[in-house]
Amino acid sequence: MDRYKSLVRNSSLIHNKFCEGKQSTFDVLDKFDQSIIETVSYLDCYQMEVAIESAVEGFNSLRSLNTGERRDCLQTLQKLLGERAEEFAFLICAEAGKPIEYARAEVLRTISTLDHAIDLSRTFSGEQIPMDFDGGVGKQAFTRRFPVGPIAAISPFNFPLNLVMHKLAPALAVGCSVLLKPSPLTPFSALALAELVREVGFPDGSFNVVLAEDHIAQKMIEDGRLKLLSFTGSAYVGWKLKALSKNKKCILELGGDAAVLVDESADLEKITPQIVKGAYMYAGQICISTQRIFCVSSIYSKFKKLLINEIKKLKIGNPLIEENEVGPMINSFHLDRISSWIDEAESLGADCLVGGAVFDMEHNIYRPTLLENVPRNCKLGHEEVFGPVAIIEEVKNFEQGLTKINQSSYGLQTGIFTENINRMKLAFETIEAGAVLIGMIPGFRIDHMPYGGIKNSGLGREGIKYAMEDMTEPKLLIF
């Protein structure tokens, strides 16, 4: 804990001051050894009202800063975060159970995300509208984008720093304040980031981080003073929050059951380690972790053997040990959930090819698992597993594989492994998803790209430019 303890705070940050909650308390655990990192306090209803008022005041102050002033603050924030990168990595490793090398990668991505916002703040603008025809002759027109207002943001446990930055950086770049509720399982990265934001000179109320039980936090969703909801989490919760948000703008990133399709032209020895990494990295607790693996019949047996052998090579255990790739589930509830889902699948005829058992009950670690013959009517067959479990299925041909991929209520990202250009085109035209990645796993993401899904996978797009567009409204001037 010495490596990150200076970053740990146990209470909400409201109007640039830490505020001890008056509602209840909650122990935040180290996800591997289950020790208490810190006991945090939850806000009551009155304190949540104060936080919302602060966000409104923060917006009124923040929008008065010019672009150069906001950019300068963002640059200073980037510098401070870079100086404490290793501390943040160990904090993420502890509170999220993320293997340390992946935690370091998350901090670097967070710095990169911030860098994109800094760059775009210089050029983000409206457009000139052609008018020199019909009734517009002699007139000129252009749009300017104005910040929508204070933003309600809710972030998940699995990327406790970078997914906060994906909401914060574009908002601050365009002049929107942010009221953030982080996951109660991983609140410290967000609070530590908020403290850095406080240091760089943004107005009070620009970034508030609130720790609150769901029934108290619901006020963030329903209150009309907060003009946009940015939520990352489960589909069940996300669509429920959208219904509660009334006429708010919404950006929803809701995950899925990401698929890959492998045909006979793929280099199996080359792609197998990539697919295994995409399925089991961070115990599969990523919304674009590979869950469904489809392979054409002619190479199915060979590919399955390669896949099983590669899964057996994975290093499992303490996330602080650098070579380990698969660490703990976020808590015992999800460990038990994974176990019960696999039991259900096997009772309905699924075959477990590797794994299928708890690796370390004390530390909430489940063995990387691969199943086949999984029926659609079990949970593993149609719901997001969010754990170290993948399903392999044989398909007659490439076209049937595309059909199988689309037999899902989700549509976030899909990976296609083929060397056939016509099949690449067909996949892009056919697959119902936010992105089709050729020769890559669905888990590939660079932080400036448009990221989001269709169907139950969400609404709108993340990626700095695209979030900035959602966080602003164009206003037209004609003269």
Q: What is the DSSP letter of 37?
A: E
- Dihedral of the CA atoms 96, 101, 103, 109 (nearest 10)? -150
β-pair type (454-455, 365-366):
unpaired
**294 beta partners:** 261, 393
Closest C-alpha among 385, 399, 19 to residue 194: 19
Round to whole Å and give the CA distance between 433 and 268: 24
287 counts as catalytic: yes
Closest C-alpha among 276, 197, 247, 202 to residue 443: 276
Residue at 240: amino acid letter: K
Q: What is the DSSP letter of 329?
A: -
Catalytic residue among 38, 253, 310, 383: 253
Catalytic residue among 19, 250, 287, 378: 287
Strand ranges, E, within 227-291: 228-232, 249-253, 259-262
In which residue are the tokens 């104060």 written? 50
**229 beta partners:** 152, 250
Task: Please give the structure tokens belonging to residue 466.
Answer: 């695209």
253 counts as catalytic: yes
Round to whole Å and give the CA distance between 114 and 196: 13
Of all residues in the chain, what percent are helix, strand and coil, respectively (each to 5)?
40, 20, 35
Please say whether the beta carbons of 182 and 189 come within 8 A. Answer: yes
Residues 6+ apart with CB under 8 A from 21: 11, 12, 40, 41, 42, 43, 44, 47, 211, 212
**437 beta partners:** 415
Closest C-alpha among 191, 185, 184 to residue 161: 191
β-pair type (178-181, 151-154):
parallel
Question: Would you call 361 exposed, middle or buried from its count of C-beta atoms within 10 A (0-12, 13-18, 19+)?
Answer: exposed
Q: What is the DSSP letter of 399?
A: H
Residues classed as catalytic: 253, 287
